[in-house]
Structure 1
Amino acid sequence: MGQAMSTTQFYLLGRRQSTLTGYLRHRASYEDAVQDAAVVVNEGQGLSDSVDLTGKAVIITGANSGIGFELASYAAGKHASVYMFCRSLERGVAAKERIEKLTRSKNVHVIECDVSLRASVENAVKEFEKKESSLHALVCNAGVLLNERTLTADGDETTFASHFLFGSYYLGKLLRPTMDKKEGRVVFVSSGGMYNTKFPSWAIATSAENCGQAYSGNMAYSYAKRGQVLLGEAWTKEWGGAGPKVISCHPGWVDTPAVEEAYGSQKKYLEPMRSCWQGAEGIAWLMSTSQSDLVSGEFYLDRTPRKKHIAGPFFSPGSFTRNTEKEVEEMMEKLKLRTGV
């Protein structure tokens, strides 16, 4: 009953909030300026949001395509030092060259990083820290949604490792000492898919072979995305006012190559879908606005904190997708033990 209600209400809420129609309605209520594209050529003609990221370093994972490419283009256009963490160096360099042509920026860098692998994340962080002493924003955007259970070279389930274990937790832990003390922020690009579930046992979340359940790519993705939301809450509680703001967010239903690959013809049920920039725009705001505008630990869509649970009657929170404090503590301990930090 709980699963059926949460899934149904997620879809109904998504039809209202996550589509292109929802984006346009939300955007009409913005108090601050908003751009129609990631890059505005004529900044002085009233088309820009007037953001200036000069002197600030930004890391965006999965930056060579889709939402990540839009975010990297936006940051470069606002004069940030942009670090694109990309699994494929070749595709990353090609995307970098496109961004340079769009923005005329000479401060865009590609660092090879497979966020599903511990050593690759470590090496990418070391390379970044050779170039920068302070990080303004970390945007954890990279990840995959696979329809068959696949293991990384380290033996971890790929979806869980890329979205959550190494691509969010480990990367965030390693970079925290470098985060700007006054304006730093960590942004987890989660998903409305997290509305479908709470974070399950570690064995199920990591798709361990002995967990007794058939593998579901969609549920593996949802577990990781719920985990990101819980991680944002846990780090907010742990770091308090001494660390960066930690935010999770939902881009809405966006017509990206990843969605096409995962859903194929079924994506018609998500239409009218947002463009990549329309999905990225609210995340660009989280990445660039003053830290004082952000509420740490919240789950955002289109510049606004949203509900984290809708599993009860009439979109009330319910209990089906809620984790107990003990369950969250166990999740955090397992993350620490697996990564060593």
Structure 2
Amino acid sequence: MGNSISQGITSTQFYLHGRKNFTRTGYEEAKKSFKPGALEQVDLKDKVYLVTGANSGLGAELTEYLASKGGRVYMVCRNKERAEVAKKAIVEKTKNEQVEVIIGDCGLKEDVQSVVEQFGSKEKKLDCLVCNAGTITDDKVLTKEGVETTFATHLLHGAYTLSTLATPYLEAAEEPRVVMVSSGGMYNSKFPKWSVSTATSETYKYDGQLAYCYAKRGQVLLCEEWAKQNKKIAFASCHPGWVDTPGVSAVYGDKKSYLEPLRSLWEGTDGIAWLCVAPKEELKSGEYYLDRTPQRKHLSGPFFTDGSFTKNTPQEVETMMTNLSKWSKEGPSSTA
């Protein structure tokens, strides 16, 4: 009963907080404090970017922006046909031919390894990795490697394995950073027991929305931990706000009216783009951003205080990191 009440308070406060900050109204308010020219007056010539989930939505919008400023951008996409269509449109609009497609499913270890190998065959350094690829399912679905799809795509391989393999290329850049596109949904939960987060518990009833929240909270914790361990690279998780994307329409359907006024694609991409191009000294590694500004990470207590319901202990975070490392290397047969 206690957990049910805490979850109810947390979910309600998440929604109310979101109505104020995550909508287009929230963006317009935040925009008043943006530094003039921060995105417009940049030259990304000789900068190299790797963006996952880049053929539609936020990923395509971000790729277009980076290319428009002269950046060399690698689009990581699952579907070759859709990727090539998106690439063609971006090149035609930006007049930048330095846009390339790498095909790979970020939920699969073998594909992530192939993506980094293909990237490494063409580049010696990576200025910014954007972990944007994602998915959400109503029912539990396993990848062909035996891992629950949402967890694998958002956290295990799409964030942890990819960033780990890309680290040598990031460390070769002058001001490297990793940007993980998380979600405000992470406010609804802490990172749960490993068997729950990976949907391997025999007693846990799978919930697609919660699986998404768990993975997104995991991304926030991952950036926190890596920020402590690697001072060369800046790690940031971020929330694009409530954006009018095909993904939102697919998940919420008619209920997306509760999230209105929804942000445009660019309004959701703005903060991600800023994290990609801002001088490194302006970034706070390990923080969770919305609209170019670090945000609080918890709001589950009474009257929007942090509370404890969504907070993980250091031991729980250590277990998460240990298991991510093991599963990334050995697969789902190994668990701490």
TM-score for both structures, normalised by structure 2: 0.95
3-state secondary structure, aligned to 2:153: helix
Is the CA contact 1:181–1:244 (under 8 Å) kept in the aligned structure 2?
no
Question: Which of 23, 30, 34 is the equivalent residue of 2:27?
Answer: 23
Is the CA contact 2:52–2:131 (under 8 Å) kept in the aligned structure 1?
yes
Is the CA contact 2:74–2:99 (under 8 Å) kept in the aligned structure 1?
yes
What is the aligned partner in structure 2 of residue 10 from structure 1? Answer: 14
What is the aligned partner in structure 2 of residue 126 from structure 1? Answer: 117
3-state secondary structure, aligned to 1:131: coil
Matches of 1:19 and 1:271, distance apart in 2: 6
1:113 Cα deviation (Å)?
Answer: 1.1
What is the aligned partner in structure 1 of residue 132 from structure 2? Answer: 141
Q: Deviations over 1:270-291 (max 9, x none)?
A: 0000011110011000001111
1:331 Cα deviation (Å)?
Answer: 0.2
What is the aligned partner in structure 2 of residue 202 from structure 1? Answer: 194
TM-score for both structures, normalised by structure 1: 0.94
What is the aligned partner in structure 2 of residue 98 from structure 1? Answer: 89
What is the aligned partner in structure 2 of residue 325 from structure 1? Answer: 314
1:124 Cα deviation (Å)?
Answer: 0.6
Letter in 2 for 1:86: C
Structure 2 gap ranges (5+): 331-336
**5 Å matches for 1:133-282?**
133-179=124-170, 180-210=172-202, 212-239=203-230, 241=231, 243-282=232-271
Letter in 2 for 1:315: F
What is the aligned partner in structure 1 of residue 333 from structure 2? Answer: none
| RMSD (Å) for aligned C-alpha atoms | 1.0
3-state secondary structure, aligned to 1:90: helix
**5 Å matches for 1:50-65?**
50-65=41-56
Q: Deviations over 1:174-219 (max 9, x none)?
A: 0011104430000000000000000001110011151x12111100
Q: Deviations over 1:133-153 (max 9, x none)?
A: 010000000010111111101
What is the aligned partner in structure 2 of residue 41 from structure 1? Answer: none
Letter in 2 for 1:105: N
Question: Which of 63, 72, 76 is the equivalent residue of 1:72?
Answer: 63
Question: Which of 271, 284, 294 is the equivalent residue of 2:283?
Answer: 294
What is the aligned partner in structure 2 of residue 311 from structure 1? Answer: 300
The alignment of Structure 1 onto Structure 2 pairs a total of residues equal to 325
Is the CA contact 2:38–2:278 (under 8 Å) kept in the aligned structure 1?
no
1:5 Cα deviation (Å)?
Answer: 1.2
Is the CA contact 2:244–2:264 (under 8 Å) kept in the aligned structure 1?
yes
Is the CA contact 2:126–2:173 (under 8 Å) kept in the aligned structure 1?
no
**5 Å matches for 1:78-93?**
78-93=69-84
Q: Deviations over 1:243-295 (max 9, x none)?
A: 21000000000010011111111111000000111100110000011111100
1:33 Cα deviation (Å)?
Answer: 2.4
What is the aligned partner in structure 2 of residue 42 from structure 1? Answer: none
Letter in 2 for 1:270: L
Matches of 1:209 and 1:340, distance apart in 2: 21
Structure 1 gap ranges (5+): 36-48
Matches of 2:100 and 2:67, distance apart in 1: 10
Q: Deviations over 1:53-93 (max 9, x none)?
A: 10010000000000000000000001011000001111111
3-state secondary structure, aligned to 1:84: strand
Give the direction of change, closer, same or farther, for the CA distance of 1:34–1:55 in structure 2 (3 Å limit): closer
* Structure 1 outlier segments of 4+, above 3 Å: none
Is the CA contact 1:62–1:142 (under 8 Å) kept in the aligned structure 2?
yes
Is the CA contact 2:63–2:73 (under 8 Å) kept in the aligned structure 1?
yes
Which range moves more in the overlay, 246-255 or 201-210?
201-210
Q: Deviations over 1:279-328 (max 9, x none)?
A: 00110000011111100000000000001000011111100000000000
Matches of 1:255 and 1:268, distance apart in 2: 10
What is the aligned partner in structure 2 of residue 38 from structure 1? Answer: none
